[in-house]
Amino acid sequence: AGNRRTTERSFATPEAIAAAAQCLRRGGLVAMPTETVYGLAADATSDEAVAGIYAAKGRPTFNPLIAHVGGVESAKEQARFDADAERLARAFWPGPLTLVLPAAATCRVSLLARAGLDSIALRAPDHPVARALIEAAGRPLAAPSANASGHVSPTDADHVLADLDGRIDWILDAGRCRHGLESTIVACLDGGPTLLRPGALPREAIEAALGRPLATRAAGAPDAPRAPGQLVSHYAPHARLRLAARAVSPEEAALDFNGALAGAPCRARLDLSPRGNLVEAAANLFAWLRALDQSGASIIATAPIPASGLGAAINDRLRRAAAPRDL
Ligand code: TXA
Ligand code: MG
């Protein structure tokens, strides 16, 4: 409720792709076919547009999203490629391989799409419609699979509409997806190429290109995957979080919502949404957390956030950020 809109379904003609790209540039949501599964695309450089993805999917948590690009050249504006990453991108892009890499200083992908992390997931899809849409939008597109949270990934336009009709602006219909399985995810951070998610590109093909085996995230490791989407260690502020605070003290910083903590003296105060809008609050969450962390306060008091809609995801992320850590 609250974000009903008319969903335009069109065959992926050049005219429809151009119109959908316009829609993306204005912050809209477009379901696009890729060779793996349909993705729910938004302008990856806009926190507000990315917040719309989480709202439409009804995601209970903010998992980081894949930024879809045209190829290695544009990917290099967003991330740092080591020799392994370069080799894998040259071997398999465009195609069903996602690389998780350190974000570049020039990275324009929204902190919300990255879930506040210093790494970024990038993929150049091999589907003519996705490629044309990225090109026409002129920016990276953040896109998780175009299904409601908890449902299986959609491999045709009917699947997408069954979950998202009335919640997104466009769907570009190009029939069935060739692979019908999500991309394989490999991290090239420090510690050698590591398989994070098996997918449409076989592990053997990746190992043949690398000339050595891929590491696998060890079961039982602190951030071992328990389910898809839990593959990452999450952004954690240095400051301690005091949740659902009704008041703030002078030495604390305040992460406010709807002006609840306004007026009291404190070290710094940033309001996630002065008008109490949860989509706006989600868009600001990671950027404001980082800024308050840099204020030097050792405690960040966070205002109560409603539990409805994106509030559930915001509260989930704040609880994780507040949990004691032994890192
Ligand atoms: O085939 C695919 O990969 C499809 C199409 C649309 O491209 N997309 C897709 O996205 O499956 P999604 O959001 O359903 O899955 C993305 C996965 C999540 O499990 C997320 O945790 C992981 O990528 N991921 C994204 N950024 C990451 C990062 N910085 N570090 C580790 N994992 C990351
Ligand atoms: Mg998914």
pLDDT tens per residue across span 195-211? 999 899 999 999 999 99
Which pLDDT score, from 0 to 100, does residue 23 have? 98
**At 228, is the pLDDT very low, low, confident or very high (cuts 50, 70, 90)?**
very low
Mean pLDDT, rounded, for 208-219: 86
d(CA 31, CA 199): 20
d(CA 123, CA 302): 35
**What separation in Å is there between the alpha carbon of 144 and the centre of ligand 2?**
6
Amino acid at 205: A
Architecture of the domain whose range is 240-322: 3-Layer(aba) Sandwich (3.40)
Mean pLDDT (the chain, rounded): 92
* pLDDT tops 80 at residue 60: no
Lowest mean pLDDT among 232-246, 263-277, 299-313: 232-246
Q: Assess contact for 132 and 15: CB atoms under 8 A.
A: no
Which pLDDT score, from 0 to 100, does residue 187 have? 96
> From the CA of 199, which ligand is nearest?
1
Strand 39-43 relative to strand 30-32: parallel, antiparallel, unpaired? antiparallel
Give the H/E segment covering residue 97: strand 97-102
Ligand 1 atom 15: residue of nearest CA? 144
Ligand 1 close to Cβ of residue 65 (< 6 A): yes
d(CA 138, CA 55): 24
d(CA 313, CA 303): 15
Looking at the chain, which residues constitute the CATH 3.90.870.10 domain(s)? 8-216
Which pLDDT score, from 0 to 100, does residue 227 have? 44
**At 320, is the pLDDT very low, low, confident or very high (cuts 50, 70, 90)?**
confident
Mean pLDDT, rounded, for 264-277: 97
Which pLDDT score, from 0 to 100, does residue 4 have? 84
Mean pLDDT, rounded, for 51-71: 93
Better-scored residue on pLDDT, 121 or 218? 121
Atom of ligand 1 nearest to the CA of 63: 21
Give the H/E segment covering residue 123: strand 119-123
d(CA 137, CA 149): 26
Per DSSP, 235 falls in state P
d(CA 169, CA 272): 25
CA dihedral sign of residues 126, 129, 135, 141:
negative
* pLDDT tops 70 at residue 315: yes
d(CA 323, CA 160): 36
**What are the helix (H) ranges across the chain?**
14-25, 47-57, 72-78, 83-92, 128-137, 157-164, 203-210, 278-293, 310-322
- The verdict on whether residue 235 carries a ligand-binding annotation is yes
d(CA 171, CA 292): 39
CATH 3.40.50.300 for domain 8-216, yes or no, is: no
Q: Assess contact for 67 and 44: CB atoms under 8 A.
A: yes
Amino acid at 274: P
Q: Assess contact for 249 and 266: CB atoms under 8 A.
A: yes
* pLDDT tops 90 at residue 221: no
Complex ipTM value = 0.99
Looking at the chain, which residues constitute the CATH 3.40.50.11030 domain(s)? 240-322
Ligand 1 atom 31: residue of nearest CA? 232
* pLDDT tops 50 at residue 172: yes
* Confidence (pTM): 0.90
With a pLDDT cut of 90, the percent of the chain lying above it is 82
- Cis peptide leading into residue 94 (ω within 30°): yes
* pLDDT tops 70 at residue 226: no
Which pLDDT score, from 0 to 100, does residue 217 have? 74
* pLDDT tops 60 at residue 224: no
